[in-house]
Amino acid sequence: MSSLSTPRPNHYISVDAANPRHVERALADLRDGLSQWRLALALARLDLRNRYRGSVLGPFWMSLSSLVMLIGLGLLYGALFKFKLSDYLPHLAVSLIIWQWISGFIIDSCTTLTSAEGVIRQMRLPYTLHALRVAFRNALVAAHSLLLIPIVFLIFRQVPGPEAVLALFGVVLIAINMVAGGLLLGMVCARFRDIPPIVANVVQLAFFVSPILWKPELLGDGMVWMALNPFYALLETVRGPLLEGGGTWLAWLAAIFYTAVHVVLTGVLFTRFRSRIAFWV
């Protein structure tokens, strides 16, 4: 028994409602949460395993459904827009798979905190941990479809140049947005239970107004306005490097700007309301 009694992080609690030290404690939450990434990853893998328990294909059902969507939408919209299939399918593959990653995450992140209710009310854990868990979970799901991109590229002899490395920065930007989004949406949805259906509607709308089925060039001069759509900006940080020789600087600037706004907004709300979360879930 004695070998197990090591000091744990919760050795000292000091709360004073008159001097709540919101900033310090929010930062401590972030730091502790990130340092427990192993637990977050283990929980994410458990979620995935439990979700697909007893299923033969497991998470590869996601890859299969992406493949079917890719072929179906690719043939139909390729013909409707009169695109060359060798141009259109690589675009659709990248856009659709990154979009499925983002949209799946957004829907899932609404329950970041409410689904962890049992743990939140029984154990003292950093809230960042729950956001990390949702981010990992969705990254793992998305990783199963990722393979479709190189396959489509191979089939259509689409070889990205060295600037494709930039796509990694795009993925990092998306990942930062996901940790922030997990906390932000998780908090807002725990407090206001009407938000999840609104979020679902916004995500559906975003699918059509973002260049996933269509290509941004179709807008002609209106293309500059696309930067107003944060989803376009984020998609472009991956699609641009892989397909367009790097993506426009406007899209990159917009993506970085939106990420910064998102992180600051999350930081402010989390700092202010962190201590209330246990009462919301």
User: Which residues are at the interface with another protein (CB under 8 A)?
Assistant: 1-18, 36, 38-39, 42-43, 46, 49-50, 53, 118-125, 191, 193, 275-276, 278-280
Q: Which is nearer to another protein, 15 or 56 (CB)?
A: 15
Cβ–Cβ under 8 Å, residues 233 and 255? yes
Q: Which is nearer to another protein, 11 or 157 (CB)?
A: 11
The DSSP code sequence of 20-78 is --HHHHHHHHHHHHHHTHHHHHHHHHHHHHHHTTT-SSTTHHHHHHHHHHHHHHHHHHH
Q: Please, what is the minimum distance in Å from the beta carbon of residue 231 to another protein?
A: 30
Q: Please, what is the minimum distance in Å from the beta carbon of residue 121 to another protein?
A: 6
Q: Which is nearer to another protein, 3 or 220 (CB)?
A: 3
Q: Which is nearer to another protein, 6 or 56 (CB)?
A: 6
Q: Which is nearer to another protein, 2 or 84 (CB)?
A: 2
Those residues with Cβ within 8 angstroms of residue 36's Cβ, 6 or more apart along the chain or in another chain: 125, 126, 129, 132
Q: Please, what is the minimum distance in Å from the beta carbon of residue 265 to another protein?
A: 22
Q: Please, what is the minimum distance in Å from the beta carbon of residue 203 to another protein?
A: 23
CA atoms of 280 and 117, how far apart (whole Å) = 9
Cβ–Cβ under 8 Å, residues 246 and 163? yes
| Cβ-based burial of 39 (10 A; exposed 0-12, middle 13-18, buried ≥19) | middle
Q: Please, what is the minimum distance in Å from the beta carbon of residue 37 to another protein?
A: 11
Q: Which is nearer to another protein, 169 or 273 (CB)?
A: 273
The secondary structure of residue 112, as a DSSP letter, is T
Q: Please, what is the minimum distance in Å from the beta carbon of residue 15 to another protein?
A: 5
Those residues with Cβ within 8 angstroms of residue 18's Cβ, 6 or more apart along the chain or in another chain: none
